[in-house]
Amino acid sequence: MRPHRPRGAEPAGRRRLGRSRSEALAFYGFVSPWVIGTALLTLFPVGYAVYLSFTAWDGISPVKPWVGLDNYHEVLTSGDTMASLTKTLLLVAIIVPTTIIGSLLLAVLLNEKVRGRTVFRTLIYIPAIVPPVAASLIWKVAFDQNSGAVNRFLRMFGVTAVSWLTGSRAFVVLIVVLLWSIGAGIIIFLAALQTVPAEQLEAVKLDGGGPLTAFRHVTLPVISPVLLFQTVLVTITTLQTFVPVLLLSPLSDHGMQDVYTNIPNANRVYMVDVYQQFFAYSRYGYGSAMLTVFFLVIVALTAVIFKVAGRTVFYAVDPNAPAKEG
């Protein structure tokens, strides 16, 4: 007969086992919504898209003709697709350094103890909280050839009204719109700047170093992980630019047709091309191949950034060190 054991009097080993099991159950319970969500809403769609990329599906027909690597061959050899990819990479080459350097410099300025600092911070951050749709539409109105504020301003200097939203100038407007939300980066850099140890800055000063020396040898290393994070984030979001292009284009209530025909060639970036392949040309297979290639481009670019940054990023805590037991 097993002896009666009062509640809470289990042997220590079994108690530990029970606790670790319940902890494990709690862990899986908490993460399962995300695991299931990721599996259903990310892994399955991505897998399905990869499958479609080997077909010539038109989006409607019940059959999905298998074409092997034909779509990939076309993606890599199509002049139109390569042109849109080049345009997108050009956009990244302009937006990423401008955003990172610009927001970092402004953050450093706003970190100085100057009068009205809070007001400046607020003013610079406001554009970041304006929804992208509203921001794009504001710029679209401002750059309108016949009634926009930009041309009205230029006219004061005798400049003839410019058609900003068409032709190659549309690319300039797109860059302005993308740079408009630089405030979000400033806030992140401002937060990072607060972590720079004052005593280290003081030490540089005592050693006779100037502000530039302090920035280069203390501030930059301390905020370098944030710099890396921002670079990766801005690169990925710029590569995926789509909505601002759509919103800057003249779209009437003629319906979706305008989305395909009224986007200036200058702004036909990669995601616009993908969208048109799917929905104007009904080339779901080719569009999926474009997305798969694009995914690989993003992964490669991110890997390059990490590789380059790996030599320069300074971690106060070793990111590879094992977590401490609580």
Partner 1 sequence: MPHSALSRRSVLTSAGFIAGAAALSACGNSGTTASKTPVKAKTGTLTIMSVQGEITPAEVAAFEKAHPGVKIKQINTDPTRLNAMLAAGNPPDVVRDAGTDVTPYIASRGIALNLDEYFAQSTVLKESDILPINNVWKWNGTAQGKGSRYGIAKDWSQDSMWWYNSDMWSAAGLKAPDPSQPITYDELADAAKKLTKTSGGKTSVYGLFTTTASMNRIGAMAATAGGRILSEDLGTADFTSPEAIAALTWLVDVAKAKTGYSLINPSPDWDGPEYVAGKQATSGQGYWFGGFLGSTAKAYQSKTVFAAAPMLGKKRVSPSFGAVGYWIPAKASNPGAAFQFIEWYCGGAGAHDRIAAGNGLPSLKSMLSLLPQTTAFDKAAFKVQSDELAYVDVLGNATPYAQTTALDTTIAKAFTAAVGSGTSVAKLADQLTKDVNAVLANGKKLAGK
Using CB under 8 A as the criterion, which residues of the chain lie in contact with partner 1 when the complex forms? 56, 58-62, 65, 80, 144-146, 151, 155, 160-163, 166-168, 249-250, 252-258, 260-262, 264-265, 268, 276, 278-283
Nearer to partner 1, 237 or 262 (CB): 262
What is the DSSP track for 14-27? Answer: HHHHHHHHHHHHHH
Nearer to partner 1, 185 or 264 (CB): 264
Q: What are phi and psi of 147, to 5 degrees?
A: -130, 5
Nearer to partner 1, 126 or 149 (CB): 149
CB of 163 to partner 1, least distance (A): 7
Nearer to partner 1, 45 or 210 (CB): 45
For residue 20, give Cα distances in angstroms to 13, 15, 37, 207, 323. Answer: 11, 9, 26, 53, 17
The amino acid at residue 248 is L
CB of 295 to partner 1, least distance (A): 21
For residue 310, give Cα distances in angstroms to 19, 192, 226, 315. Answer: 39, 19, 13, 10
CB of 308 to partner 1, least distance (A): 36
- Strand partners of residue 66: 55
CA pair distance 59, 50, nearest whole angstrom: 15
Q: List CB contacts of 189: < 8 A, sequence separation 6 or more.
A: 103, 104, 107, 108, 223, 226, 230
CB of 140 to partner 1, least distance (A): 9
CA pair distance 236, 217, nearest whole angstrom: 28
CB of 222 to partner 1, least distance (A): 47
Nearer to partner 1, 76 or 280 (CB): 280
**322: which DSSP letter?**
P
CB of 239 to partner 1, least distance (A): 22
Nearer to partner 1, 151 or 292 (CB): 151
Q: At CA 165, angle to CA 159 and CA 166, rounded to 5?
A: 100
